[in-house]
């Protein structure tokens, strides 16, 4: 049996059902930092797709779809590009049935050099809730440096969350 083929590509409107599936799954969104007033997964998906596409159009970021054998299974992207520091924030999600298979690690290994080049970055920053140990392990395995903990710095619903800050510099790729 052949191994599934990993592809990265720009998002398209046909991706809405898969995005809605992800945005409607609390396991995906609990650490995603989703900021929306919408409650319907379809509306959130439309909002996310528009945001992914707008980030690229504005040069503020670059999001790509992670596909296995042509089927969208996740997303990864850089957003909120900071011109002063030539940095951007990293975000990603993966449908739960693909967790624990090394897929996000492979996708990030392919995408990070392209993202640094595409956005002319010096650094990539990732913020991870301490409870999200899988993401912390993933980033560390990719060479990101844990810089510290920002205590109760972000509001998620009615609660405040702490975030670990990880960075990767261009020369560390």
- For the entire predicted model, the pTM comes to 0.92
Q: 96 with 73: CB under 8 angstroms?
A: no
pLDDT tens column, 11-61: 999 999 999 999 999 999 888 877 787 788 899 999 999 999 999 899 899
Domains recognised in the chain with CATH numbers:
6-172 (3.40.630.30)
Q: d(Cα 74, Cα 97) in Å, to the nearest integer?
A: 11
Nearest to 154 by CA among 37, 44, 33: 33
């Amino acid at each position: 049996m052949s191994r599934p083929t990993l592809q990265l590509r720009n998002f398209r409107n046909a991706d809405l059902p898969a995005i809605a599936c992800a945005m409607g799954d609390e396991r995906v969104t609990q650490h995603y930092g989703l900021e929306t007033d919408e409650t319907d997964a379809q509306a959130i998906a439309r909002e996310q797709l528009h945001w992914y596409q707008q980030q690229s159009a504005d040069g503020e970021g670059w999001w790509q779809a992670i596909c296995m054998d042509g089927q969208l299974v996740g997303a990864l992207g850089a957003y909120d590009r900071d011109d002063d520091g030539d940095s951007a924030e990293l975000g990603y999600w993966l449908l739960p049935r693909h967790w624990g298979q090394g897929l996000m690690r492979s996708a990030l290994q392919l995408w990070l050099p392209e993202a640094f080049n595409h956005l002319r970055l010096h650094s990539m920053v990732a913020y991870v809730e301490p409870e999200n140990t899988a993401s912390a392990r993933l980033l560390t395995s990719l060479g990101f440096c844990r810089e510290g903990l920002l205590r109760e710095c972000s509001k998620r619903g009615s609660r405040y969350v702490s975030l670990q800050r990880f960075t990767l510099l261009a020369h560390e790729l």
